[in-house]
């Protein structure tokens, strides 16, 4: 199969794309072209994965009338023209868009060339680009029940997020806890605000540090690489043996297999990994994202009994500790783990692959 993929802006758009590509390449001979922006995260992640990468220059629309939006229209037209040239040269069987404004010109160009297209919406509330592309794409793959009604009914397929598939395929390595200086015989919670960290979560952990140090569970506190040095200066001089502070976790799925629960933002990729592995979670949605979609992501799973949620405006040392104490109870954690597994989609990559093959045959 020959497949062209586009997705950029945040890891939440890029990691599902890479997960899908890896799944396809493991199952069959697959040639891949990835089209992104020259400055986005994808410009480093994709070449590092040894995938052919091409770039277009495109920016997102502002939410108010501005001269910049006029410039964006011209950039879009130019990016469509450039994308058509890339696609004509590569000759893909299908084109996949996984979100971010770079998908706009790429998937639109493919549709105009008559190439079968699929867009993947990771969140419960669709982004602007996917709303626009839905009228041109042949398939719209979604990960939340709440997103189904937001797209043309005949085009929608429920597949889940391919990162879920990678999570369940991660190696089961109990020794990873010892690598971080944690005791495998004592429950562990991981608290992380994403690869770059989240200041409000860091603030709450620092305020709760002395109380957490007295608990019967351990905490792996992931500050985010941007905040690590500053956090180190704010931690007590005498560190608690039960709280391990690190800037980043390289293999989060492997770690998640070994923990009692997790605390973090409610990005679609994180939720896909946690539910697939049946990890009880406390979601703290970022209120700074488009249409507050992280709140809706988290709320969908809270309603199913698969997670707890603390809105950022209510995040304090007290609410954080109370949530962890709740998950420390074995019966509560087991029930939530079961609910998470019931709604997780570990077969997501395979389902997406099936859709792509069906489009190719059509």
Indicate the annotated binding residues for UDP-N-acetyl-alpha-D-glucosamine.
Answer: 10-12, 123, 195, 294
What sign results for the dihedral spanned by CA atoms 333, 334, 340, 346? positive
**Distance between CA 84 and CA 95 in Å, rounded?**
12
Token readout for 124 is 């419960």
Q: What are phi and psi of 159, to 5 degrees?
A: -120, -25
Q: How many CB atoms lie within 10 A of CB 357?
A: 15
**Distance between CA 35 and CA 56 in Å, rounded?**
7
Residues in the chain: 362
Residue numbers in the known binding site are: 10-12, 123, 195, 294
156: closest CA among 101, 100, 118?
A: 118
Helix H, strand E, coil C: the string for 127-153 is CHHHHHHCCCCCEEEECCHHHHCCCCH
Q: How many CB atoms lie within 10 A of CB 153?
A: 8
Segments in the chain forming alpha helices (H):
11-27, 42-48, 67-90, 103-112, 128-133, 145-148, 162-169, 175-179, 199-212, 228-234, 252-256, 268-277, 293-302, 317-328, 330-343, 348-361
């Amino acid at each position: 199969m020959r497949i062209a993929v586009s997705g950029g802006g945040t890891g939440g758009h890029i990691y599902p794309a890479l997960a899908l590509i890896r799944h396809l390449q493991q199952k069959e001979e697959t040639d891949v072209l990835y089209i992104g922006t020259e400055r986005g995260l994808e410009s480093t992640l994709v070449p590092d994965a040894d995938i052919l990468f091409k770039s277009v220059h495109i920016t997102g629309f502002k939410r108010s009338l501005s001269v910049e939006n006029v410039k964006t229209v011209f950039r879009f037209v130019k990016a469509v023209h450039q994308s058509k040239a890339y696609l004509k040269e590569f000759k893909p069987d299908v084109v996949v868009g996984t979100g971010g404004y770079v998908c706009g010109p790429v998937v639109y160009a493919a549709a105009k060339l008559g190439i079968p297209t699929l867009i993947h919406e990771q969140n419960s509330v669709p982004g602007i680009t996917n709303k626009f592309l839905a009228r041109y794409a042949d398939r719209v793959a979604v990960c939340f029940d709440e997103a189904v009604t937001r797209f043309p009914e005949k085009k929608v397929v429920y597949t889940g997020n391919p990162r879920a598939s990678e999570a369940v395929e991660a190696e089961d390595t109990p020794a990873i806890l010892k690598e971080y200086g944690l005791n495998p015989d004592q429950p562990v919670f991981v608290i992380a605000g994403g690869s770059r960290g989240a200041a409000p979560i860091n603030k709450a952990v620092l305020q709760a540090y002395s109380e957490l140090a007295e608990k019967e569970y351990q905490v792996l506190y992931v500050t985010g690489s941007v905040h690590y040095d500053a956090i180190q200066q704010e931690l007590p001089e005498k560190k608690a043996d039960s709280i391990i502070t690190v800037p980043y976790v390289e293999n989060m799925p492997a770690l998640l297999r070994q923990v009692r629960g997790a605390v973090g933002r409610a990005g679609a990729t994180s939720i896909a990994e946690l539910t697939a592995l049946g990890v009880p979670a406390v979601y703290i949605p970022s209120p700074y994202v488009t249409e507050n979609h992280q709140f809706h992501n988290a709320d969908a799973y809270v309603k199913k009994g698969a997670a707890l949620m603390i809105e950022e405006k209510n995040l304090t040392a007290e609410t954080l500790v109370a949530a962890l104490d709740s998950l420390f109870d074995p019966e509560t954690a087991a029930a939530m783990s079961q609910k998470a597994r019931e709604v997780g989609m570990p077969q997501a990559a395979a389902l997406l692959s099936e859709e792509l093959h069906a489009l190719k045959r059509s």
